[in-house]
C-alpha cells in the first residue's frame, strides 16, 4: 500500500538539506517514488539560496550541517518562510533536540536511522500543512478585501450604501459634494471616486484652502505669468492646469475666499481659468470634488458662500455616517488599524482587551474613525503584551462611558445590579445601532447570537 499523498504529490516540491550522501540518496529515492519533485542542498548556504529562489511544499532539514547549526537555520526559515512546514532530521534522537526543534517552529522531527514509512507519512503531512497555511493566508486576505472598498473599511448598511453611491457616480463627469463630520474619511471617498473613474491614470490633487491665504490660494490654483507681481521672476503652472485630465478635491471647500469662488465656478462651468497676470484664457479638463464638515446651505443663507457655486457643487451629494452610527464596523476597523500599526511599529499586538473594547463601544467618537485610529496607534505603541488594555486608552475615553467610575462609586452600590444595568445599556445601545436586528447587535458586541438572545430574555429587554 502506498502511504504517499496521491492527490498532493503530483506537484509537491520537497527540499532536503543534509550533507550525508547515504541519507540524501535514500530520501531522494523514497520521496521521488511517491511522485515528489525532490531537490537537495548539502549545506546551509546552498539551502538558503534554494529557499530564496523557489517555492517549496515541505523541507527536510538536518540538525547538524557542515557550515551552521540547523536550528539556527530553522529560526531563519521561520522568519522568512513562516508557512513552510519543516521536518527536522537528527542522528541523536535526544529529547532536548526534539524539544528545541519544535520550540523553534519545526513541524515534526525524525531520527537517524529513520523508518521509511514514518518519513513518507510525515512528508505527506508537512506538504498538506504548508498548503493549508497558504490557503488560510489567502482566505484571510480575501476576507479582509471583502470587508474593504478601495481603502475604506466597513460592511455596515450605511457603508454598503456609500459603496454603491461611489460606483454609480465614479464614471460620470459631475461634481460631487462629500459631507461629513471631521474624521469620517471624506478624502478616502474622493480617492475612491477618482480611482474608479476613467481619470484614474491622471493626477489626483487635494487642495486644502483653510490653511492658505486667499491671494496665495489663487496663485496656487491658477498659476501666474512672469512679472505678474513683485518676485514673479518666472511663470508658474497652477494646480488646475497640473491636474488636467484628472481630479481636484477641494477639502473644506467652504473656506475658499469669495474672490476665488467666482473663478472656481468658471472652471466648473466652462473648464476655463486665467493665470495671474495673463490675458490669455487657459483650459483644463478637471473633475471637481468638494468636501466639507459644515452645512453649506446655511453658509449660502448667511451670504458667506456663493449660491451659484453651491448649486454647481451640489449636483451629486453624499453624507458620510459618523462612527457612532456604524459601530458594527468597529471590530473591522480595530483589526485593520492593529494590523497597520503593528507593521509600522514592529509590534505584535493581537487584540483589544474585552473591557477596553466594551468601552470603545460605549464611546461617542466625536473624532470618528480618525480618532479611533489614533487610539489604536497609541495602544499598540504603549502595549507591553499582546493586548491593548484599559489603562492604555486615553484618559478622556476611559472616563467618558456609561459605567460608573470606580473612583466615584455611590454608597450602597450592589455589584450585580450595576453589572446588569451596564449589560442592559450595552445591549440596548447595540440593538439601537442595528435597528433591532439581533444578529447584527451580537456582532457589534462580539457575542454569539444565541448568547445575546439568552441575555435579552434574562434581562427582559423589549425590542
CATH number of domain containing 420: 1.10.10.60
Domain boundary residue, one of 274, 289, 321: 321
Q: Are 129 and 165 within one domain?
A: no
- pLDDT tens, position by position, 130-166: 998 888 777 666 555 566 688 899 888 899 899 999 9
Q: Are 172 and 285 within one domain?
A: yes
How many Cβ atoms sit within 10 Å of the Cβ of residue 346?
6
Q: Are 51 and 200 within one domain?
A: no
* CA 47 to each of CA 1, 44, 58, 111: distance values in angstroms, whole numbers, following the listed order: 32, 5, 13, 20
pLDDT at 403: 46
CB 27 within 8 A of CB 18: yes
pLDDT at 451: 84
Cα dihedral value 349, 439, 368, 352, nearest 10: -20
CB 72 within 8 A of CB 94: no
pLDDT at 147: 60
Does 202 fall in a domain? yes
Does 45 fall in a domain? yes
Does 18 fall in a domain? yes
Q: Are 299 and 349 within one domain?
A: no
Nearest Cα neighbor of 331 from 314, 354, 309 is 354
Alpha carbon distance 371, 228 (integer Å): 44
Does 441 fall in a domain? yes
How many Cβ atoms sit within 10 Å of the Cβ of residue 2?
10
Alpha carbon distance 256, 92 (integer Å): 77
pLDDT at 206: 95
Query: Cell for 372?
Result: 479611533
Q: Are 300 and 180 within one domain?
A: yes
The answer to whether the bond into 8 is cis (omega within 30° of 0) is no
Give how many domains the chain has, as a whole number: 4
Query: Cell for 439?
Result: 444578529
Q: Are 98 and 138 within one domain?
A: yes
pLDDT at 212: 82
For 285, the 3-state DSSP assignment is coil
Domain boundary residue, one of 101, 120, 144: 144
Question: What's the domain range around 206?
Answer: 154-321
pLDDT in tens, the chain (463 residues): 345 544 444 579 999 999 899 999 999 999 999 899 999 999 999 999 999 988 999 999 998 899 998 889 999 998 889 999 999 988 765 667 767 778 888 889 888 888 899 999 999 999 999 998 888 777 666 555 566 688 899 888 899 899 999 999 999 999 999 999 999 999 999 999 999 999 999 999 999 888 788 778 999 999 999 888 888 889 899 999 999 999 999 999 999 988 899 999 999 999 999 999 988 999 999 999 999 999 999 999 999 999 999 999 999 999 999 998 888 889 889 989 998 999 999 998 988 988 888 889 888 899 999 999 999 999 999 999 899 999 999 988 887 654 444 444 444 445 555 566 667 778 887 887 777 788 888 888 878 888 888 888 888 787 6
pLDDT at 136: 73
Farthest-apart Cα atoms in the chain, separation: 92
Does 436 fall in a domain? yes
Domain boundary residue, one of 144, 168, 185: 144
- The residues with which 89 forms a beta bridge, in sequence order, are 62, 110
Does 149 fall in a domain? no
CB 22 within 8 A of CB 62: no
Does 161 fall in a domain? yes
For 401, the 3-state DSSP assignment is coil
In eight-state DSSP terms, residue 434 is T
Q: Are 174 and 310 within one domain?
A: yes
Q: Are 15 and 116 within one domain?
A: yes
pLDDT at 412: 46
Q: Are 419 and 347 within one domain?
A: no
pLDDT at 338: 93
Amino acid at each position: 500500500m502506498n502511504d504517499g499523498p496521491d492527490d498532493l504529490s503530483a506537484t509537491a516540491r520537497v527540499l532536503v538539506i543534509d550533507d550525508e550522501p547515504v541519507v540524501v540518496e535514500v530520501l531522494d529515492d523514497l520521496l521521488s517514488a511517491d511522485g515528489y519533485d525532490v531537490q537537495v542542498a548539502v549545506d546551509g548556504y546552498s539551502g538558503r539560496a534554494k529557499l530564496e529562489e523557489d517555492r517549496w511544499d515541505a523541507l527536510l532539514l538536518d540538525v547538524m550541517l557542515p557550515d551552521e547549526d540547523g536550528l539556527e537555520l530553522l529560526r531563519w526559515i521561520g522568519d522568512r518562510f513562516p508557512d513552510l512546514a519543516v521536518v527536522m532530521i537528527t542522528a541523536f534522537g535526544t529529547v532536548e533536540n526534539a524539544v528545541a526543534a519544535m520550540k523553534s517552529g519545526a513541524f515534526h522531527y525524525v531520527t537517524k536511522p529513520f523508518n521509511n514509512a514514518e518519513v513518507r507519512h510525515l512528508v505527506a503531512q508537512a506538504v498538506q500543512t504548508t498548503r493549508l497555511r497558504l490557503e488560510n493566508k489567502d482566505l484571510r486576505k480575501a476576507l479582509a478585501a471583502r470587508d474593504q472598498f478601495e481603502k475604506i473599511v466597513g460592511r455596515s448598511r450605511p457603508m454598503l450604501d456609500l459603496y454603491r453611491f461611489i460606483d454609480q457616480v465614479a464614471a460620470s463627469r459631475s461634481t460631487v459634494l462629500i459631507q461629513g463630520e471631521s474624521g469620517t474619511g471624506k478624502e478616502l471617498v474622493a480617492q475612491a471616486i477618482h480611482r474608479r473613474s476613467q481619470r484614474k491614470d491622471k493626477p489626483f490633487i487635494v487642495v486644502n484652502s483653510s490653511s492658505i491665504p486667499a491671494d496665495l490660494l489663487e496663485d496656487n490654483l491658477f498659476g501666474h505669468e512672469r512679472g505678474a507681481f513683485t518676485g514673479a521672476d518666472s511663470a508658474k503652472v497652477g494646480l488646475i492646469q497640473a491636474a488636467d485630465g484628472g481630479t481636484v478635491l477641494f477639502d473644506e471647500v467652504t473656506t475658499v475666499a469669495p474672490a476665488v469662488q467666482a473663478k472656481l465656478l468658471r472652471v466648473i462651468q466652462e473648464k476655463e481659468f486665467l493665470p495671474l497676470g495673463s490675458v490669455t484664457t487657459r483650459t483644463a479638463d478637471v473633475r471637481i470634488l468638494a468636501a466639507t464638515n459644515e452645512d453649506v446651505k446655511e453658509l449660502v443663507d448667511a451670504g458667506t458662500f456663493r449660491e451659484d457655486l453651491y448649486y454647481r457643487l451640489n449636483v451629486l451629494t453624499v453624507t458620510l455616517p459618523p462612527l457612532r452610527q456604524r459601530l458594527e464596523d468597529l471590530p473591522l476597523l480595530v483589526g485593520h488599524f492593529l494590523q497597520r500599526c503593528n507593521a509600522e511599529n514592529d509590534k505584535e499586538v493581537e487584540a483589544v482587551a474585552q473591557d477596553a473594547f466594551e468601552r470603545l463601544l460605549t464611546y461617542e467618537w466625536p473624532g470618528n474613525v480618525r480618532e479611533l485610529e489614533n487610539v489604536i496607534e497609541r495602544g499598540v505603541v504603549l502595549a507591553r503584551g499582546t493586548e491593548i488594555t484599559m489603562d492604555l486608552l486615553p484618559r478622556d475615553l476611559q472616563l467618558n462611558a456609561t459605567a460608573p467610575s470606580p473612583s466615584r462609586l455611590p454608597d450602597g452600590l450592589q455589584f450585580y445590579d450595576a453589572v446588569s444595568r451596564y449589560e442592559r445599556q450595552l445591549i440596548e445601545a447595540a440593538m439601537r445601532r442595528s435597528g433591532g436586528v439581533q444578529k447584527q447587535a451580537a456582532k457589534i458586541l462580539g457575542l454569539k447570537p444565541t448568547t445575546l438572545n439568552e441575555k435579552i430574555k434574562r434581562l427582559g429587554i423589549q425590542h
